[in-house]
Amino acid sequence: MSECLLKIENLTRKFGGLTAVDSVNMYVNQGEIIGLIGANGAGKTTVFNMISGSFRPTTGKIIFNNIEIEHKPAHLICRLGVGRTYQIVQPFTTLTVLENTIVGALLKYPDVSAARKKSIEILKLLDMEERRDVKGSNLSLPELKRMEVARALATEPKLLLLDEVMAGLNPTDSAEFVNIIRKIRDTGVTIILIEHVMKAVMSLSDRIYVLNQGKLISEGTPEHVSNDPVVIESYLGSRKIASETIPNKEENVNAES
Ligand SMILES: Nc1ncnc2c1ncn2[C@@H]1O[C@H](COP(=O)(O)OP(=O)(O)OP(=O)(O)O)[C@@H](O)[C@H]1O
């Protein structure tokens, strides 16, 4: 049986009178790809912010690799092995792709030449090596998204949190991203994916958690979740996915939700 890498217990985050995340329980096993879905404002990014240490939970526990991390600072959580991307990509526009990636790697490797070597390896994995000397300001959106993933991977995470990396991409670029995410998992990295591109989530995820107004309303395999009447009513119905077949894991995912 796979080892549990992340366990979230009764996680709650309030902002004033608003409970953005409400008593959420989740677990993620080593090597899994987990989907985290739900309508806008459901609390998904707030969960990521708590796992990565940007926000403290109001109550609840986050246990990563057998260590309680909910009160640890973000840089330490990163060193323990949690990497993340941000919904809004914020590259250093005057630095090249390689230099941007090295900035991520320096969090792990204090030595610049080791950070450079690691960064080149990662750019190869993400099919970005040919673009390594291009400045951030000259990248297309799909390239920016890949560079964002490269920066997160350069910290050598055991767990990678991907926040809407396919948002705004056309179907062909989304399909390529799906393949990249599989390649990353095949290197041994466990992944949690927030995504509104439903065909991609359904095809990639081993299991899915569904949030609605801060609460978990469903969890299980893509088949289970996409047939759950509660999920169809609160989220999937409006995204016209419930009646569609779930693509084969190896199939290209070429349709936006
Ligand atoms: N720093 C903050 N201060 C106050 N309210 C916040 C803060 N961050 C998030 N919220 C609120 O918490 C709720 C959950 O937001 P969150 O960004 O986690 O949702 P989400 O599921 O990621 O949405 P989306 O799909 O639109 O990114 C929203 O009502 C949001 O306005």
CA of 93 to the centre of ligand 1 (A): 27
**Position in ligand 1 atom list of the atom nearest CA 48:** 18
Q: Is 57 in the pocket of ligand 1 (CB under 6 A)?
A: no
All structural domains of the chain: 1-80+156-239 (3.40.50.300), 87-155 (no CATH)
pLDDT digits over 164-178, tens only? 999 999 999 999 999
Instruction: Tell me the residue type at 120.
Output: I
The model's pTM is 0.90
pLDDT digits over 214-248, tens only? 999 999 999 999 999 999 888 877 555 544 434 44
Contact residues for 166 (Cβ-Cβ < 8 A; gap 6+):
145, 173, 174, 177, 195, 197, 200
SS3 breakdown of the chain: % helix, strand, coil, rounded to 5? 35, 25, 40
**Position in ligand 1 atom list of the atom nearest CA 196:** 25
The CA distance from 160 to 243, in Å, is 31
Q: Is 41 in the pocket of ligand 1 (CB under 6 A)?
A: yes
**Position in ligand 1 atom list of the atom nearest CA 87:** 27
Is the ipTM, as predicted for this complex, more than 0.95? Answer: yes
The CA distance from 181 to 77, in Å, is 22
Q: Is 46 in the pocket of ligand 1 (CB under 6 A)?
A: yes
- For residue 91, what pLDDT is reported? 76
| Cα 228 to Cα 69, 149, 223, distances in angstroms | 32, 32, 9
- Residue with CA closest to ligand 1 atom 24: 40
CA of 231 to the centre of ligand 1 (A): 20
Q: Is 243 in the pocket of ligand 1 (CB under 6 A)?
A: no
Collect the ranges in the chain with pLDDT lower than 70: 1, 238-257
The CA distance from 86 to 90, in Å, is 8
Return the sign of the alpha-carbon dihedral for residues 107, 111, 116, 118: negative
**What values do phi and psi take at 60, rounded to 5?**
110, 170
Q: Is 187 helix (H, G, I), strand (E, B) or coil?
A: coil
DSSP annotation of 233 reads I
- For residue 89, what pLDDT is reported? 74
